[in-house]
Structures are given as structure tokens and as C-alpha cells.
Structure 1
Amino acid sequence: MTKFVSRFVKDESGATAIEYGLIAALIAVVIIGAVGLLGDSLKSTFEAITSGLDEGLAKN
């Protein structure tokens, strides 16, 4: 039983898994933020393209 407890205390694999989970969560937050910022810009770009195409079609 003593060997099991000492081996359990020295085992750091759970801590490593938690660290990887925290890193993955941080990366996800950064990606969500970037998509949010680029989303508005991309929407504006597509609206400008649509407006230009509508004007071009109205002339013909």
C-alpha cells in the first residue's frame, strides 16, 4: 500500500493532461476572438461586393 501511495504522489501525468487542457482552452479563446474580429470585416467586404454587383447589373 505504501508503494502505491508513493507512486501515486510522484505521478504527474494528470497534471500534464490538465496543462494540455488549459492550453487547448486558451487557443480556442484566441481563435474565437480572431473569428469575431474578422467576421465583421468580412461581412463588410461581402456587402461592398454585393452592392457593387447590384449597381453593375442595374446599369445593364
Structure 2
Amino acid sequence: MTNRFYSNLFRNEKGATAIEYGLLAAMIVIAAISGLNSFSSSFLNMSNNTTAAVQEATSNSQ
């Protein structure tokens, strides 16, 4: 009975597949967060540059 339990345990791959999908989902989330983080930094710099240019242009015209 014990040998059958262990042989079935090692042949059952449902748990391994679930863990693999979980790891894949975690890697996708980490990649998305890091991508959004670098995008937000670039977007913030672009926004600050645009704001500074608009302020400079409006202060020169007065």
C-alpha cells in the first residue's frame, strides 16, 4: 500500500503543473511591474520637461 502511494505521488503531475503556472504568472507580473516602473520614470521626465518648456515660453511672452 505504501509503495503504491509513493508511485502514484511521483506520477501525479497536476501539482507540478499548477506550480509551473503560478511561477509563470509571477514572472509575468514582475516583468509588467518593472516595465511600468521604467515607463513611469520616462513619462515623468517628459512631463517635467514639457511643463518647464511651457512655463518658460509663457514667462518670456509677458
Q: Show structure 1 runs of 5+ residues with no match.
A: none
Q: Show structure 2 runs of 5+ residues with no match.
A: none
> Share of identical aligned residues, percent?
32
Cα-Cα RMSD: 2.4
Give CA deviations for 1:20-57 in whole Å, capped at 9, x if unaligned: 00011111111122122222211110001111221233
With the length of structure 2 as denominator, give the TM-score of the two structures.
0.69
Residues 1:35 and 2:21 aligned together: no
With the length of structure 1 as denominator, give the TM-score of the two structures.
0.71
Q: List, as ranges, runs of 4+ consecutive aligned residues in structure 1 with deviation greater than 6 Å.
A: none
Name the count of aligned residue pairs: 59
1:1-60 correspondence runs (5 A): 5=5, 8-9=8-9, 10-58=11-59, 59-60=61-62
